[in-house]
Amino acid sequence: MAGKVWFVGAGPGDPELITVKGRGLLERAGAVLFAGSLVDRAATLYAPDDSTIRDSKGMTLDEIVAWLIEQAARHETVVRLQTGDPTLYGALVEMVRPLAAAGIEWAVIPGVSSAMAAAAAAGETLTLPEVTQTVILTRVAGRTPMPPGEELEALAAHRTTLCIFLSVTLLHEVQRALRAAGWPEDAPILVVQKASWPGQEKIVRGTLADIKRRCQEEKIAAQAMIIASPTLGARHWQDIARSKLYDPAFGHRFRRASLTEGSSS
């Protein structure tokens, strides 16, 4: 009987940021295929000593699928360990279609995205009351084109939080798109390379005007998250709008509203 293939999100880099369920699957995996160019090999140390472990960075999609099918014929639990979350820029659909055609059962275990890890590393929030309540996860067109209407300039026009993946080598395009969308030169920009990777994380803060130069000075050319957001630096602002959820004058089904100084009946 064929085993089951689990697509497990390894998280952003720190091996301890894998989910408890993901670690449990690794601990009983008979075979593990990990994306070595993006996933810290330390995450594979959770696997049994006799587990078959292979790095996929030199493999084609067809070779990856063939390997997973082959291992599923030998082991009850096979793990495909992917960076961040498997549903974001992970070729998930391209891998599961041939598995399903071959009668192989599969499932996905979510992981912590580098977008969230980058914000956490820098102590930033991606949303803030009365500033922005929307987060856009996107990328700049490179070898993979963007669908019509999803150009960065169009998305940036919303002036919400942008988490821009796979684009640090195209910072000039990010700058161009944000300027075309009306972002000011002093708009804060955050770049985090290898968010959460022990001893390898770099945090660069700048503005639309100088972020490319700052990243060049830090020699950041890969594995970096770009965040452009009106919320950046909010913890240093003199005043911010308070969340209604925790406002004593705001009632909900778990707490009655109470009158406070300045409120009225």
Kindly state the average pLDDT of the residues 143-147: 87
Give the residue among 19, 155, 132 at the shortest CA–CA distance from 85: 19
Residues 74 and 149 in one domain: no
Calculate what percentage of the chain has a pLDDT beyond 70. Answer: 91
Which pLDDT does position 193 carry in this prediction?
Answer: 97
Angle subtended at Cα 205 by Cα 199 and Cα 209, rounded to the nearest 5 degrees: 145
Tell whether 214 and 127 lie within a shared domain: yes
11 lies in some domain = yes
- The answer to whether position 254 is within a domain reads no
Domain interval for residue 44: 4-109
Is residue 262 domain-resident?
A: no
pLDDT band at 31 (very low <50, low <70, confident <90, very high): very high
DSSP strands (E only) in 166-233: 188-193, 202-207, 224-228
Domain count, the chain: 2
pTM: 0.88
Question: Rounded to an integer, what distance in angstroms lies between the CA atom of residue 159 and that of residue 183?
Answer: 8
pLDDT at 39: 77
Specify the CATH number for the domain of residue 88.
Answer: 3.40.1010.10
Closest to 26 measured CA to CA, from 69, 99, 63, 77: 77
Q: pLDDT at position 143, please?
A: 82
Q: Using pLDDT thresholds of 50, 70 and 90, give the confidence band for residue 264.
A: very low
Closest CA to 174 of 143, 139, 147: 139
Provide the pLDDT for residue 243: 67
For residue 187, give the CATH number of its domain: 3.30.950.10
**124 plus 220 within the same structural domain:** yes
DSSP 244: G
**Span 97-105, average pLDDT:** 96
pLDDT grade, residue 105 (50/70/90)? very high
**In degrees, to the nearest 5, what angle opens at C-alpha 158 toward C-alphas 155 and 164?**
45
Domain-ending residue, one of 109, 129, 155: 109
Q: What is the pLDDT of residue 260?
A: 56
Q: How many CA atoms lie within 13 A of 161 on its CB side?
A: 24
Question: pLDDT tens, 172-201?
Answer: 999 999 999 999 999 999 999 999 998 999
Within-domain flag for 249: no
pLDDT(141) > 70: yes
From the number of C-beta atoms within 10 Å of its C-beta (0-12, 13-18, 19+), residue 42 rates as middle
Average pLDDT, the chain: 91
- The set of residues, in sequence order, having a beta carbon less than 8 Å from that of 83 and lying 6+ positions away, is 9, 10, 11, 12, 13, 35, 38, 39, 90, 111, 114
Same domain, 150 and 206: yes
How far apart (Å, rounded) are the C-alpha atoms in residues 154 and 109? Answer: 32
- Using one digit for the tens of pLDDT, what is the confidence trace for 36-51? 877 777 778 899 999 9
C-beta atoms surrounding 199 within 10 Å: 5
Answer whether residue 247 is part of any domain: no
